[in-house]
A and B are shown apart, each in its own frame.
Chain A
């Protein structure tokens, strides 16, 4: 399992990028993108997914 970012809603604030413990998030084109190979859903690192917890727009960092 992994998370993804809905590009059309992303405000490009970049908070998810620097909160991601797996360095799975990078800016590409118009939005931040989660690398599914690196995303761990923050398991064993934090109780909640960091990208989804910090994202200011509802339903934008969601399970893929």
Chain B
């Protein structure tokens, strides 16, 4: 099969700092503006320290760092209409789906095996397939074992919030400083359409009472985490006709209670998944509807737009899943943690991202100053490192940026089927890719053939490979300048 998508390609096979740095820069623009803080201008330094290596809490970090989930918590205390507890599929990428459930000891072995092989690894999460706070014994046992072996790995959990108040203090004690709460409503009348039942205080509740209890516990849990300085991400599933408008209200509530970031995700709903919503024909939103809602939420809590709705056993950068490489039977019975590759990688990233941030802020400044009043939607093929470094035909997703008088901002990603396999392009697949790129003005990639380029052009989408290996924002600012006839960026980045 094709080579795995790896951030800063080649960094996983070499270990010396000099080698790594040379690999990261090869073929790319080599700005050298060291001495900057390495921190985006608009973030509090203490918060930046917490999120700078967390791919889910920081859009900037997601270019460099990888997460892994261990599926140790299969038990759940809430039934959601978008979840089917019997679901298990190797090819589906969505929350709750796993191929194998692990005991805490098996999870420790897997985390060590991945840490030895994937130098980008920075975060260990427990995100189901059940609820990490409800299945607390397994969650806690896993974190205790892993923290003993790999003290610098960040620990985080995902929860529906019902049992969260019971464990907020322990989470703080265990240095779990990132928690995701799925909050889909703040009005129990909306909640009854999403949650058929909850299990709380030794009994099953249904209807409005269930939704009211869940809502109260979610708000209490969020407040308790905020009081303890734990960063929270609020996940909301956007369900058209059920809670799409209501999410504006949810955003206000969670912001007031100190939520750090709000992540609105599209409902995934197909009949084949066997969920209640899948079977009743409830549709999910399309990409442009998602973007429209997210745009309306700007100015509220910080928005996360780079979520990939990953599996409960995902491994790797957010845009990839290497989980299938690390099944239990592929891991030796005895594994010993070797920190050398992670340490070398962290060192080179610290260096590389200073350059990237400088180039980024320069590019954004240029677009803001251009005064053109126009905006561009740009899709980028990248394999990590914040650069335009993936071939069009090899991309499994495109990262979408908007360049406008407000600067350059990441607005989301579009999944696409890989168009080129084994050196040949499939026309039927290309049609799907073009459909996935609806509304995009320009595609940036490391390389593209004439044939797909022409077909994209027919669909009104231009493609450019002249900026291969440049930083994404640098490339976009150059495109913006060329497009609207403004002064291009000086050649420092």
Contact = CB atoms under 8 A, between A and B. Distances in A.
A14 to B, nearest CB: 5
Contacts of B135: 14-15
A19 to B, nearest CB: 8
A15 B129 CA distance: 12
A13 B202 contact: no
B130 A13 contact: yes
A14 B75 contact: yes
From A11, A14, A47, A48, residue with most partner B Cβ within 10 Å: A11
A13 B204 contact: no
B335 to A, nearest CB: 25
A11 B85 contact: yes
A53 B79 contact: no
A14 B101 CA distance: 11
B175 to A, nearest CB: 25
A15 B128 CA distance: 13
B77 interface: yes
A48 B139 CA distance: 27
B203 interface: yes
Contacts of A47: 203
B204 A11 contact: no
A56 B85 contact: yes
B199 A18 contact: no
B137 interface: yes
From B74, B75, B134, residue with most partner A Cβ within 10 Å: B75
Interface string A2-31: 000000000111110011000000000000
B76 interface: yes
Nearest to B130: A13
A48 B199 CA distance: 11
Contacts, number: 45
B77 A15 contact: yes
Contacts of A18: 75, 137
B204 A14 contact: no
A17 to B, nearest CB: 8
A50 B202 CA distance: 7
Contacts of B86: 11, 57
Given A12-B101, A13-B85, A46-B202, A54 B77 contact: yes
A11 B74 contact: yes
Contact of B203 (A12, A13, A48, A57): A48
A31 B137 CA distance: 20
A27 to B, nearest CB: 11
A54 B76 CA distance: 8
From A15, A46, A56, residue with most partner B Cβ within 10 Å: A56
Given A12-B101, A13-B130, A18-B137, A56 B76 contact: yes
B75 A15 contact: yes
Contacts of B77: 15, 54
Interface in B100-126: 101
Interface of B: 74-77, 79, 85-86, 101, 129-130, 134-135, 137, 199, 202-204
23 contacts: A11-B74, A11-B85, A11-B86, A13-B74, A13-B75, A13-B76, A13-B85, A13-B130, A14-B135, A15-B75, A15-B77, A15-B130, A15-B199, A18-B137, A19-B199, A19-B202, A47-B203, A53-B204, A54-B75, A54-B77, A54-B204, A56-B79, A56-B85
Query: Top 6 A-B pairs ranked by shortest CB distance?
Result: A15-B75, A13-B74, A53-B204, A56-B85, A13-B75, A54-B199
Given A15-B75, A48-B203, A57-B86, 20 more contacts: A11-B85, A11-B86, A12-B74, A12-B101, A13-B74, A13-B75, A13-B76, A13-B129, A14-B75, A15-B77, A15-B130, A15-B134, A15-B135, A18-B75, A47-B203, A48-B202, A54-B75, A54-B204, A56-B76, A56-B85
